[in-house]
Amino acid sequence: MTSASLARAPRLRGARALFTGRAGGAGTGDFASLNLARHVGDDDAVVERNRELVGERIGAPLVFVDQVHSATVHVLPAQGPVPVVTADATVTRRTDTALAIMVADCLPVLLSDPSAGVIAAAHAGRAGLLGGVLERTLEAMGDLGATPEGTTAAIGPSICGQCYEVPGSMREDAAAVLPATRSSTRWGTPSLDLRAGAVDLLARAGVPAEAIDAEHPCTLEDEAYFSYRRQARTGRFAGVIRRL
């Protein structure tokens, strides 16, 4: 896995974290080359090898979940095997596993409270963000001793507000729940800025503004990342975090 396969490493205290890109894996064609998703039609053996490559880079085996655009948060067992469950966020105090969240335009959100020794990874698409996945993730972290004030957050590569075009009614419905998401495309049509919404939500929950790292590329504009909006048959990259 080369440095070209990674976005800028997020600024997270108490954790090792990364956002993978398209490059550096074993895949070809539409899935070239570091696709991490089994459900998109790629060869299972290739996906498994790509996951191993990322695990080697982060220093621990990856824990994935069956993502369904929900607000469900899974807290890993304190020890032992980790079964694949249906959820869109994971939380743990363990140091022997790395949490992985797959995306291809949605927000990969990584969180760490170094004092409490708690980390989390969340998949925040439109439905999950508006449905409360980040709030529930912070709550689950709190159950393990974390506090918003002690938490650092990284919002990785995702589609930007100037590219995520949606129907006007969808924009207004989203803005009624989370006003910061209301945006317009560069060409003047209704859009949603999920990243701005996530930043606003985390800040209002108590995460310090200076502890939120949200300066990462737009997946639709930057071909270094998989983007479902750009190409429906495509792979998935991931936000990955491991507690130090």
Residue 19 half-sphere exposure, CB side, CA atoms within 13 Å?
Answer: 32
CATH number for the domain including 225? 3.60.140.10
pLDDT on residue 35: 97
Give the helix/strand (H/E) hosting 158.
none
CA pair distance 60, 38, nearest whole angstrom? 20
Distance of CA 124 to the CA centre of its chain: 7
DSSP state of 101: E
Task: Name the token pair of 106.
Answer: 């949605």
CA nearest 23: which of 4, 8, 42, 9?
Answer: 4
pLDDT (tens digit, 0 to 9) for every residue of the chain, 244 residues total? Answer: 443 445 556 779 999 999 999 999 999 999 999 999 999 999 999 999 999 999 999 999 999 999 999 999 999 999 999 999 999 999 999 999 999 999 999 999 999 999 999 999 999 999 999 999 999 999 999 999 999 999 999 999 999 999 999 999 999 999 999 999 999 999 999 999 999 999 999 999 999 999 999 999 999 999 999 999 999 999 999 999 999 9
Give the helix/strand (H/E) hosting 143.
helix 133-143
| Contacts of 80 by beta carbon, 8 Å cutoff, 6+ apart | none
* Domain that includes residue 103, residue range: 3-243
CA pair distance 221, 175, nearest whole angstrom? 24
Q: Are 113 and 141 in contact (CB under 8 A)?
A: yes
Total domains present in the chain: 1
CA pair distance 45, 25, nearest whole angstrom? 12
Q: Are 54 and 108 in contact (CB under 8 A)?
A: no
CA nearest 42: which of 55, 26, 56, 57?
Answer: 26
Residue 80 half-sphere exposure, CB side, CA atoms within 13 Å?
Answer: 3
Q: Are 196 and 160 in contact (CB under 8 A)?
A: no
Instruction: Give the residues across from 123 on adjacent strands.
Output: 108
